[in-house]
Amino acid sequence: MMHAVAQFAAILASALFILSLYWMNDPKTARHAVVAGVTGMLVAVLATWFQPEIVHHGWIVLAIVGGFVVGVPLSLVPLTAVPQRTALSHAFGGLAAGLVGTAEYFLGLGGGEHGAPLTTFRMSALVAEVILGFLTFTGSLMAAGKLQEVKWIPQRPVTYPGQNVVNIGVLAIAVALGVLVTRQPTTAWSPHAFITIVGLALLFGVLLIIPIGGADMPTVISILNSYAGLSAVAMGFVLGNKLLVTAGALDGSSGLILSIIMCRAMNRSFTNVLFGAFGTVQKIAATAEQKAWKQETVEGAAQLLEQASSVVVIPGYGMAVAQAQHKVRELYDQLTKRGIAVKFAIHPVAGRMPGHMNVLLAEANIPYTALAEMDEINPEMPQCDVALVIGANDVVNPAARYAKGSPIYGMPIIDADKARTVLAIKRSKNPGFAGIDNELYVQDNTWMLFGDAKAVVGDLVKQLTGRGLH
């Protein structure tokens, strides 16, 4: 009876996980996706907990309390810090898989007295689990540290000659030791070799991340997500837990698909990402600083907007920092009331996490129909009267098209520069995430509105409201 209930729960949880991923495809169903995912996980945990072989309930309660103590504050971080928070979650997932794998190996060494026997199949899964788990742990910690701008972790890519040979060499030694331990798991040297594999995996995680520059970090976090999923698959085989295999496979494959989509969006080669071989920054000629920045007043900008027939709003990280989305909604209302066609151009890596802009704009109830993806909006940009850039920088930087050696070279951008007029809101002349100048701001048809995005957009709304409809 208990077995049948567990089987049913596993199927139900798997179905909920698949539905959750499916519903995530569309902002309209994304909330259902969250509910389905959480319910699936609850069913999975309860179904596993009530297995007859689980006897130490106190430890499980303690682990759940520990999870809450860490998880609740983590869930309260601002939206702008979600990428590093996600990286931390992957780190915990990787650590859990690595520790379970290590414990299962040492239990199995006792000749099957406490743990299951170390068969070749089990050993292969164990080795995969600890390598993937521990490299995900240190790699994700490094990625979180880089994004959080922790002082002692260099933000810029750290590269040296022969780096790939060293990195691949470390991984190859770990895999070779893994093959040896799999063949002879219980000889005198095997536990030492196993611990060496753990050490090499931890080291590989660090080596994998240090050559990677900030602009590529989102893709790397997504790949680490995929590694965490794969280590969970291996753990599922080790523990004989089918649900863990399904959940890990979904996690691993969705992370992989997201990484590929992001690689395409940023024009990165996926193999380079896998081997952490990109992100080298070379100095590029600074062109922007030689030209003058032209400023516009809020009154002038409001007039330009009022006279336009089509406006494309290009939001970026600055809109998130300023929490300007509600003011942006008011501006949208003011403009559409005047019969102006307003669209929001969404770059796949605008902000600090995939879908960042979609989440903010949905929060402000901006209709989904007003949102356009990069490929859809770019052909329309030459006919656009005003491109209103709100706290976006790298995703509208024309240097991405031609500046070889720039960290954003090859990344497709939103063609704001092709609009008839560009209005750009930012606080200063500082660069964006990739740390490079942006010639869009000094282009002949660009006018800057310096200030906090929420305040400037609020002032624009006031101007338009004060003018009334003509």
Q: Report the distance separating Cα 143 and Cα 342, nearest Å.
A: 37
How far from 161 is each of 167, 207, 280, 324, CA to CA, in Å?
A: 11, 13, 12, 45
CB of 212 to ligand NAP, least distance (A): 11
* Extended beta strands in 258-336, E state: 310-315
- Counting contacts by CB under 6 A, is residue 215 touching ligand NAP? yes
- Counting contacts by CB under 6 A, is residue 143 touching ligand NAP? no
Closest chain position to ligand NAP (CB): 432
CB of 102 to ligand NAP, least distance (A): 32
User: What angle separates helix 120-147 from helix 190-209, to the nearest 10 degrees?
Assistant: 30
Q: Report the distance separating Cα 11 and Cα 301, nearest Å.
A: 57
Q: Report the distance separating Cα 307 and Cα 453, nearest Å.
A: 22
CB 100 within 8 A of CB 237: no
Q: Report the distance separating Cα 187 and Cα 98, nearest Å.
A: 22
212 or 395: CB nearest ligand NAP: 395
How far from 368 is each of 248, 318, 373, CA to CA, in Å?
A: 32, 21, 11
Which residue has 């656009």 as its token pair? 384
Nearest one of 173, 303, 273 to 213, comparing CA atoms: 273
Q: Report the distance separating Cα 439 and Cα 459, nearest Å.
A: 26
Taken in order 315, 321, 325, 331, the sign of the CA dihedral is: negative
The amino acid that residue 224 corresponds to is: L
Strand order in the sheet with 386-390: 371-373, 341-346, 310-315, 386-390, 421-426, 446-450
**Residue of 10, 36, 48, 83 that binds ligand NAP (CB under 6 A):** 83
- Counting contacts by CB under 6 A, is residue 460 touching ligand NAP? no
Region near ligand NAP per CB under 6 A, out of 8-16, 112-120, 269-277, 311-319: 311-319
CB of 453 to ligand NAP, least distance (A): 4
With vertex at residue 410, the alpha carbon angle to CA 406 and CA 415, rounded to the nearest 5 degrees, is 105
**Residue of 100, 125, 217, 245 that binds ligand NAP (CB under 6 A):** 217
Q: Is 394 a catalytic residue?
A: yes
Q: Using DSSP, state whether 90 is helix, strand or coil.
A: helix
CB of 419 to ligand NAP, least distance (A): 16
- Counting contacts by CB under 6 A, is residue 146 touching ligand NAP? no
- Counting contacts by CB under 6 A, is residue 432 touching ligand NAP? yes
**Residue of 82, 238, 331, 425 that binds ligand NAP (CB under 6 A):** 425
**Residue of 201, 321, 381, 388 that binds ligand NAP (CB under 6 A):** 321
Spacing of C-alpha 178 from chain mean position = 30
Region near ligand NAP per CB under 6 A, out of 33-41, 174-182, 268-276, 430-438: 430-438
Name residues contacting ligand NAP, limited to 374-413 (CB under 6 A).
391-395
- Counting contacts by CB under 6 A, is residue 182 touching ligand NAP? no
- Counting contacts by CB under 6 A, is residue 90 touching ligand NAP? no
Compose the 324-353 pattern: x for residues touching ligand NAP by CB under 6 A, - for all others: -------------------------xxxxx
Where residue 435 falls (left for φ over 0; alpha for ψ -120 to 50; beta otherwise) is left
Spacing of C-alpha 86 from chain mean position = 7
- Counting contacts by CB under 6 A, is residue 268 touching ligand NAP? no
CB of 406 to ligand NAP, least distance (A): 11
The catalytic position among 394, 415, 417, 459 is 394
Q: Report the distance separating Cα 357 and Cα 377, nearest Å.
A: 15
85 or 426: CB nearest ligand NAP: 426
- Counting contacts by CB under 6 A, is residue 98 touching ligand NAP? no
Name residues contacting ligand NAP, limited to 348-367 (CB under 6 A).
349-354, 356
207 or 328: CB nearest ligand NAP: 328
44 or 448: CB nearest ligand NAP: 448
**Residue of 428, 466, 468, 470 that binds ligand NAP (CB under 6 A):** 428
89 or 196: CB nearest ligand NAP: 89
- Counting contacts by CB under 6 A, is residue 313 touching ligand NAP? no
**Residue of 32, 427, 462, 467 that binds ligand NAP (CB under 6 A):** 427
66 or 78: CB nearest ligand NAP: 78
Q: Report the distance separating Cα 342 and Cα 332, nearest Å.
A: 7
Q: Report the distance separating Cα 222 and Cα 86, nearest Å.
A: 9
Compose the 227-266 pattern: x for residues touching ligand NAP by CB under 6 A, - for all others: ----------------------------------------
CB 433 within 8 A of CB 406: no
83 or 108: CB nearest ligand NAP: 83
Q: Which residues are catalytic?
A: 394
Q: Which residues bind ligand NAP (CB under 6 A)?
A: 83, 215, 217-218, 316-318, 321-322, 349-354, 356, 391-395, 425-428, 430, 432-434, 452-453
